[in-house]
């Protein structure tokens, strides 16, 4: 037998020297399988939010190369993509929290950096986590119309760019973690003999993986169902957390920005309001009475706000295409719409010819069977199929061909 060497450093001391007294985590819920299963649900929610976000973004800010290829149908297209965008983002919040809890012990992995590749991987995770949190927090605050960032940064552009960065980091993450994900999908129980499975199960204590995943799923389902009623009529009664109750509002439609907030006064619209139509072969100047005397068209079209709420409504007014014909504006002209609003973000709007010429695109005078109220855009407002609420300009004063 060899004598123990008194000068030898005990093994556990070596490990203490190498690894500072970082916390150790024993819950088996910090394992690859839990991370993979929750990560999959989170990945699906993020993919849905990203794709629908891109579609919604293009519909609101069409790049010039796409501007004339946007479909005006189905009329509920934007309502659907933006509703799904907000719903999947909402569902992602509890999923992200569960996922972060599952993997956070890795923050304390030792050594912190093993190689250049490992450093890059950790950096990509930093970007991924920061980006994901940023997107979900800003999206949630925006859907609640709580613009805490004021003028610090523009929400739309920032939310859009950070989405690309986050998805880039996600792709790197999926690539790096592919082997771990493959292991995570393998059900270890299936590979063990029956007796050993029982043995493993008996030794288990604490929360089971199944219970943890079920709880996460219930949390994600609950917050989603409790908010999605702002765009899904049938879920309105259970939508106790939605920022908007779409059943409440003048003429059965919520108002996002009131006339008062937009600086539109009753006096300003009733005095001698006339609609100007410029840029064609005939210049038009029509009073509300004259507009109401023109052939009227009806359409059932949703108002779908970027913030996630949406509601179908019945509109009546003058077909925009008819107005343009009256003014001698050619079919291939895009149209600029100018509101009486002096300097809001939505005071001026551009309508590509595809929307201008859609037979359901209206200069609406009536909403749900009644004259528009001032808050809904009286004397006249735009309503067009498959466009974001922000482009449904209220208090229209002038329409002009863009030449």
Which residues contribute to the site for ligand MTE (CB under 6 A)?
A: 253-257, 262, 303, 305, 339, 341, 344, 346-347, 376-377, 389-390, 392-395
305 binds Mo ion (CB under 5 A): yes
Alpha helices in 144-193 (DSSP H): 155-176, 178-185, 188-191
143 binds Mo ion (CB under 5 A): no
Number of residues that bind Mo ion (CB under 5 A): 4
What 8-state DSSP symbol labels residue 327? T
CB of 277 to ligand MTE, least distance (A): 18
Residue nearest to Mo ion (CB): 305
* Partner whose footprint covers residue 243, from Mo ion, ligand MTE, none (CB < 5 to 8 Å by kind): none
Q: How far apart are the first and last CA of the chain?
A: 99
User: What is the dihedral angle through the alpha carbons of 383, 385, 389, 391, rounded to the nearest 10 degrees?
Assistant: -70
**Does 379 sit behind a cis peptide bond, omega within 30 degrees of 0 on the bond before it?**
yes
Map residue 243 onto helix, strand or coil.
coil
**CA–CA separation, 79 vs 76, rounded Å?**
5
Stated as kind and residue range, the H or E segment containing 198 is helix 194-202
* Partner whose footprint covers residue 339, from Mo ion, ligand MTE, none (CB < 5 to 8 Å by kind): ligand MTE
CB of 295 to ligand MTE, least distance (A): 24
Reading the block at residue 114, the tokens are 């093993």
CB of 132 to ligand MTE, least distance (A): 26
CB of 390 to Mo ion, least distance (A): 5
Site string for Mo ion, 374-393 (x = CB under 5 A): ---------------xx---
Length of the chain: 403
CB of 249 to ligand MTE, least distance (A): 7
CB of 138 to ligand MTE, least distance (A): 17
User: What is the dihedral angle through the alpha carbons of 125, 220, 159, 395, rounded to the nearest 10 degrees?
Assistant: 180
Q: Which long-range contacts link 150-153 to residues 24+ away (Cβ below 8 Å)? A: none
Q: Which residue, 102 or 242, has its beta carbon nearer to Mo ion?
A: 242
User: Between residue 232 and residue 271, which ones bind Mo ion under the rule CB under 5 A?
Assistant: 256
Reading the block at residue 232, the tokens are 């899904």
166 binds Mo ion (CB under 5 A): no
Site string for Mo ion, 176-205 (x = CB under 5 A): ------------------------------
| Interface ranges with Mo ion (CB under 5 A) | 256, 305, 389-390
């Amino acid at each position: 037998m060899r004598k123990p060497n008194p000068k030898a450093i005990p093994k556990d001391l070596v490990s203490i020297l190498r690894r500072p007294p970082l916390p150790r985590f024993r819950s088996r819920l910090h394992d690859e399988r839990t991370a993979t299963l929750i990560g999959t649900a989170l990945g699906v929610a993020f993919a849905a939010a990203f794709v629908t976000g891109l579609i919604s973004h293009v519909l609101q800010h069409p790049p010039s190369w796409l501007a004339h290829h946007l479909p005006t149908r189905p009329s509920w297209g934007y309502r659907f993509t933006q509703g799904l965008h907000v719903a999947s983002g909402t569902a992602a919040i509890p999923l992200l929290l569960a996922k972060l809890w599952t993997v956070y012990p890795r923050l304390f992995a030792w050594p912190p950096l093993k190689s250049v590749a490992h450093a890059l991987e950790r950096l990509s995770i930093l970007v991924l986590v920061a980006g994901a949190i940023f997107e979900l927090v800003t999206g949630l605050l925006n859907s609640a119309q709580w613009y805490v960032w004021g003028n610090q940064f523009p929400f739309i552009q920032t939310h859009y760019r950070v989405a690309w960065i986050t998805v880039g980091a996600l792709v790197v993450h999926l690539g790096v973690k592919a082997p771990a994900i493959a292991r995570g999908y393998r059900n270890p129980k299936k590979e063990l003999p029956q007796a050993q499975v029982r043995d493993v199960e008996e030794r288990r204590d604490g929360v089971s993986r199944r219970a943890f995943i079920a709880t996460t799923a219930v949390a994600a389902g609950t917050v989603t169902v409790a908010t999605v009623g702002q765009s899904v009529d049938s879920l309105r009664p259970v939508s106790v957390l939605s920022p908007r109750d779409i059943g409440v509002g003048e003429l059965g439609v919520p108002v996002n920005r009131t006339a008062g907030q937009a600086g539109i006064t009753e006096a300003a619209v009733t005095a001698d309001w006339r609609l100007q139509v410029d840029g064609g072969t005939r210049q038009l100047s029509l009073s509300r009475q004259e507009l109401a005397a023109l052939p009227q068209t009806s359409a059932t079209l949703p108002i779908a706000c970027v913030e996630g709420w949406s509601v179908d409504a019945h509109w009546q007014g003058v077909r925009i295409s008819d107005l343009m014909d009256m003014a001698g504006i050619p079919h291939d002209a895009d149209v600029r719409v100018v509101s009486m609003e002096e300097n809001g973000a939505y005071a001026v709007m551009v309508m590509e010819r595809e929307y201008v010429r859609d037979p359901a695109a209206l200069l609406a005078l009536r909403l749900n069977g009644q004259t528009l109220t001032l808050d809904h855009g009286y004397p006249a407002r735009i309503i067009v199929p498959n466009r974001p609420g922000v482009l449904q300009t209220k208090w229209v004063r002038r329409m002009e061909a863009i030449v």
